[in-house]
Structure formats: C-alpha cells, structure tokens
Amino acid sequence: MDLFITIFAAVFSVLNPLGAIPVFVGLTQEDSLAERSRISIWVAINVFLILMISFFIGEYLLKFFGISMDALRIAGGLIIVNSGYSLLSGNFPKRRGVNKKVADDAQNRNDIALTPIAMPLLAGPGSMSLLIAFYQDYPLYTDKIIIGAAVMAVCMLIFLILRSSHYLSKILGASGIVSISRIMGFIVIALGIQYISTGIINILNKVL
C-alpha cells in the first residue's frame, strides 16, 4: 500500500490533470456532454498506454541508444523541475507544449484525445522518464503490478477530473486551479531534485 500511494502521488503530481482543466474546457466548450465524456475516457486510456509503454519498453530504448539510467534520472529530473517551476509560477498551460497554434489546430480536428491533451499536456517527457526510472528502481514483478495499478488509478482520476472539468472550472475558478497547481508544482520540483541528486550520487559513487 505504501508503494501504491508513493507512485500514485508522484505520477499524479507530475501529470497534474487539474492544470489541464482550462485547456480541456477551451477545446471542448462547443461539444456535448456525451462527446466530452468520450474524449475524457480516451484521454485517460491514451495516457495509460503512453505511460505503460514507457514503463516496460523505455529501459530497452535507453540501452539501444547507450543512455545510462543515471543520465536519464538527471535529464528527467531537470524536465520535472522545469515543469514544477512552470506550475509554481502559474505558466503551466503555455510551458507544457500547448501554444495558440496547437490549440487552434486542435479546434479544427475531430479528436483531441491523443494530442494535445494526452500528449504532451499530460503525458510528457517528465512523466515518461519517471516511469522508466520506476522500472529500474522496482525490479520485483509484484512491485511492477502495483505500479501499473497506481498508474491506472491516476488515469481513472484523470477521466473523472476531465469529465467534470466544466463543472470544476466554475467551482474552483481560474485562481483556484492555479493555486492547487502551484502547490503541486512545489511537490514536483522536490521530486525532480530528488531524481537529479540520486543520479549524481550514483555517478559519483561509480567514479570514486
């Protein structure tokens, strides 16, 4: 249960589905309730597939390109810290890959469940590198099952949040969403620094 809670909190903080509410509301404002529900569930499915593919295949891709796990921790930690700073400063919609051009293009397409909502708004490089690191940090099969269950729980929560995004945006308001995202931003920064320090310490131990 401790592992489940740890993974759930880490993945949820990095994905920050609350920060995706303003973008989702803007892109689905003319859609029906049934269409919003359909998009929400496909966003959750796409995020789950992206993270699970990263979790199980990411390590082999690193070996193919000759990238060490510690280098990934440092690079991923930097991305996570940058994402956390964006959340903390309140610039998360712009800094997470959804600019005006992308938003306008999404408005003209029939389905936004994969891009830009699932990727890169939710499942970006930071969350992918986090899942790759988890695969290395938790080698037991039982741990991997728990991690998969935690990611699935996060994706289910993503569906519920996006499904209720128009309602939540009215209840919380822009200031409420930004406030929650800034709190998460602090946690995300701490998580990124932890991964950077772990990678640096491991490299120094190998050198010394």
| Total of domains in the chain | 1
Q: Which of 93, 147, 140 is nearest to 120 (CA)?
A: 93
Helices 141-163, 165-207: crossing angle, 10 deg rounding:
150
Report the percentage of the chain scoring pLDDT > 70. Answer: 89
Give the pLDDT of residue 147: 96
Give the pLDDT of residue 99: 52
Q: Which residues, given as ranges, of the chain have pLDDT below 50?
A: 93-97, 106-108, 110
Report if residue 11 sits inside a domain.
Answer: yes
Report if residue 207 sits inside a domain.
Answer: no
Give the pLDDT of residue 85: 81
Give the pLDDT of residue 52: 96
Report if residue 158 sits inside a domain.
Answer: yes
Q: What does the block give as tokens for 150?
A: 């935690």
pTM confidence score = 0.79
CA distance 83 to 76: 10
Q: What does the block give as tokens for 93?
A: 């919609």
Report if residue 15 sits inside a domain.
Answer: yes
- Which H or E run contains 98? none
Report if residue 195 sits inside a domain.
Answer: yes
Give the pLDDT of residue 94: 43
Q: pLDDT by residue (tens digit) across 162-186?
A: 999 988 888 877 778 777 777 878 8
Q: What does the block give as tokens for 117?
A: 């909502």
Give the pLDDT of residue 108: 46
Give the pLDDT of residue 49: 96
Report if residue 206 sits inside a domain.
Answer: no
Q: What does the block give as tokens for 59?
A: 């390590």
Name the DSSP class of 97. T
CA distance 171 to 167: 6
Give the pLDDT of residue 162: 94
Report if residue 130 sits inside a domain.
Answer: yes
Report if residue 29 sits inside a domain.
Answer: yes
Give the residue numbers spanning the domain of 188.
2-200
CA distances from 26 to 41, 85, 120, 192 (A): 17, 23, 16, 30
Give the pLDDT of residue 150: 97
